[in-house]
Chain A
Amino acid sequence: MHSFGYRANALLTFAITILALMCAMASLSDNFNTPTPSAQVQVLNINWFQKQPNGNDEVSMTLNISADLQSLFTWNTKQVFVFLAAEYETPKHSLNQISLWDGIIPSKEHAKFWIHTSNKYRFIDQGSNLRSKEYNLTMHWHVMPKTGKMSADKIVMSGYRLPAEYR
Chain B
Amino acid sequence: MGWIGETMDSIKSLQIRQVLTQAVSLGMIVTSALIIWKALMCITGSESPVVVVLSGSMEPGFKRGDILFLHMSKDPIRAGEIVVFNVDGREIPIVHRVIKVHEREDTGEVDVLTKGDNNYGDDRLLYAHGQLWLQRHHIMGRAVGFLPYVGWVTIIMTEKPIIKYILIGALGLLVITSKD
Chain A window 1-34, contacts with chain B (Cβ cutoff 8 Å), 1 for yes, 0 for no? 0000100000000000000000100010000000
Task: Check if A97 sits within 8 Å of B101, measured CB to CB.
Answer: yes
> In the complex the two chains form, what is the Cα distance from A121 to B97 in whole Å?
14
- Interface of chain A, main secondary structure: strand
Task: Check if B60 sits within 8 Å of A126, measured CB to CB.
Answer: no
Q: Which B residues are CB-close (under 8 A) to A5?
A: 174, 178
- Which residue of chain A has its CB nearest to the CB of B80? A140
User: How many CB-defined contacts (below 8 Å) exist between A and B?
Assistant: 85
Q: Indicate whether A85 reaches chain B with its CB closer than 8 angstroms.
A: yes
Q: Indicate whether B99 reaches chain A with its CB closer than 8 angstroms.
A: yes
> In the complex the two chains form, what is the Cα distance from A79 to B145 in whole Å?
14
Q: Indicate whether A96 reaches chain B with its CB closer than 8 angstroms.
A: yes
Q: Indicate whether B17 reaches chain A with its CB closer than 8 angstroms.
A: no
Contact status of A78 and B60, CB under 8 A, knowing A97-B78, A145-B146, A149-B145: yes
User: Quick check: which of B2-10, B21-29, B103-111, B152-160 contacts chain A, the rest being far away?
Assistant: B103-111
Residues of B bordering A, CB below 8 Å: 60-62, 76, 78-82, 97, 99-106, 108, 111, 117, 122, 143-148, 174, 178
In order of increasing CB-CB distance, the 3 nearest A-B pairs are: A97-B79, A99-B99, A97-B101
Residues of A bordering B, CB below 8 Å: 5, 23, 27, 78-79, 81, 83, 85, 91-99, 102, 104, 106, 121, 126, 140, 142, 144-150, 152
